[in-house]
Chains A and B, each alone.
Chain A
Amino acid sequence: MTTRKFTGLLFASPWIASFLLFWLFPLLYSLVLGFTDYRLMAPDYQWVGLDNFTALFSDQAFLSSLFHTFIFVLGTIPVTTVVALALALLVERQFPGRTVFRSGFFMPSITSMIVIALVFTNLYSRGGYIYLLAEMLGLTPPENGFLLSNSTALISIMAMDVWMSVGYYMLLFLAGLKSIPMELYEAAEVAGAGTWRKFRSITIPLLKPVALFILVINTIKSFQVFVEIFVMTKGKYGTSTAVYFIYETGLNRFEFGYASAAAYVLFIIIAIFSLAQFRLFRQRSVW
């Protein structure tokens, strides 16, 4: 019996080592760093208590990066969720060519974000196809392209993000739709319910668990938006986000202490949002 206990520990050891070395240690390390003024240029650091945190909340660069992050999160998630659900409903039933459409919609979400961001950098630029399309539609796009303007850069990146991720969430909604028993719809039909009634009273409530899952993972993901910002605007033109700020501060200016404090602030914000979503959905859950 004791050998079996030992064997179990042995088999679990890859995770134990990985967790301690690459998760727990770094997390505790940065928690400590957050209360110091450690930077690469001055390695003998000192405790500064909560100074980093108070400095952050009067740091214009940090506050505006948080503001952009909130715009990104609150702007993309509702649109992504609704469009993903609409796409899922469009391709739910069997019809000729269904696989082609479903695969095509899904394709962008398994493509490298770097590649997508590069392609859209061209499409959004002056003379790029999206720019030309906007002109054809009678709009007047910013002179230097969508990404080099304070008024359009962030929203253009948000639109790309929606475009890229709807296919992924469509798949999740499709799985959710599939798990709804057919008999419910049949029973509703017998009772004389129309399409809209069935959608409102059966589909929507029964999709709630999937919708919650989608909201939570999308929230965690969107709060961390970084790669597209790095590739497309380098944080300029009103697009600097929280993770971009952490990257800039920590790995360009090497202010490890300050950047660690910023990371913890972001962590706490994300945790609060995720918990709030759970509570919101628990209240009138079908489970």
Chain B
Amino acid sequence: MVKLLKYAALTIILAVMVFPLLWMFRVSLMPPTGGLSLGAFFTPIFTLGIYYDIFTSGNMLRYFFNSALIGVIVTAGNILFCFMVGYALSRYRFIGRSFWFYSLVFVLMIPAHIIIIPLYMTIHHLGLYDTYGALILPFLVNPIGVFLVKQYIDSLPSAVEEAARMDGAGELRILIGIVMPLCKPALAVLAIQVFLTNWNSFLFPFILTSSEAVRTLPVGLALYQGHQAIDWPHLMAGSSLAVIPVLLIFLFFQQHIVSGITAGAIKQ
């Protein structure tokens, strides 16, 4: 009886949690003409007409491509740079090491949204406004990623590196050839976290660009509703494009996502 009640409660909660996304997919599968009528959710007509529309006209596909390109570059950059920096902080004693370490802590604790004005101006001064560079360069090294890698390398024995060094291997070879392969688990977690964050990111792409050519999908969606009356089916098809990659990543890498989230919370 208690068990039955528990399942009933869980099912109701689950319905509440997934309904909005189901609604989004449902609306995106409406016929292209006719708009959105009351009770449309329950009509048994499904078509891909709207997807055909947004793939053949308008800028939605362009936004999708921009998001994907920027996401891949930023993720690749973070894998390389967070790894390099994490390795340096873990294994080397260099000038200002603790200062740079605390600068990471400092940035982690700063509410990112308060720098929108100065970052906007800095990007302008650098001549990067409204370019891919504005959406890539500031986001190539993320402090959480550096911590993740540093902690992981701290837990690895340094004997292998020392042995390689004795054998005359250069520092770069040790970094890329020996330590990096050992860090694969941490780097996988890092990559997925960075990609998801970047894919969903809105505020910075929104304030640092203005033209449609470099616009990302979330920005495109947010500004789409500006035109005339809201065309819900098309807007929801575009939204589905933003959600489907996330769902796929979630499906295949759930464990990585979970350990990325909990890594920060549970520290020994």
Contact = CB atoms under 8 A, between A and B. Distances in A.
Interface of A: 4-12, 14-16, 18-19, 21-27, 29-30, 33, 87, 90-91, 97, 100-101, 103-105, 107-108, 110-116, 118-123, 127, 129, 163, 167-168, 171-172, 175-176, 179, 210, 213-214, 220, 223-224, 226-227, 230-231, 243, 246-247, 250-251, 256, 259-260, 263-264, 266-267, 270, 274
Interface stretch (B7-15, B44-52, B53-61, B183-191): B7-15
Contacts of A179: 266
B41 A14 contact: no
B242 A112 contact: yes
Interface of B: 6-7, 9-10, 13-14, 16-21, 23-24, 36, 38, 41, 81, 84-85, 87-89, 91-97, 100, 103-104, 107, 109-122, 126, 137-138, 140-141, 146, 171, 175, 196, 199-200, 202-203, 207, 218, 221-222, 225, 230, 232, 235-236, 239, 242-243, 246-247, 250, 254, 257-258, 261-262, 264-266
A82 to B, nearest CB: 14
B262 A118 contact: no
Contacts of A97: 7, 10
B92 A267 contact: no
Nearest to A11: B88
A141 to B, nearest CB: 15
A19 B130 CA distance: 21
A111 B116 contact: no
6 closest cross-chain pairs (CB), A and B: A8-B92, A8-B94, A26-B118, A11-B88, A30-B118, A175-B262
Nearest to A125: B230
A175 B266 contact: yes
A260 B6 CA distance: 51
Given A11-B92, A119-B20, A171-B262, A16 B118 contact: no
B202 A107 contact: no
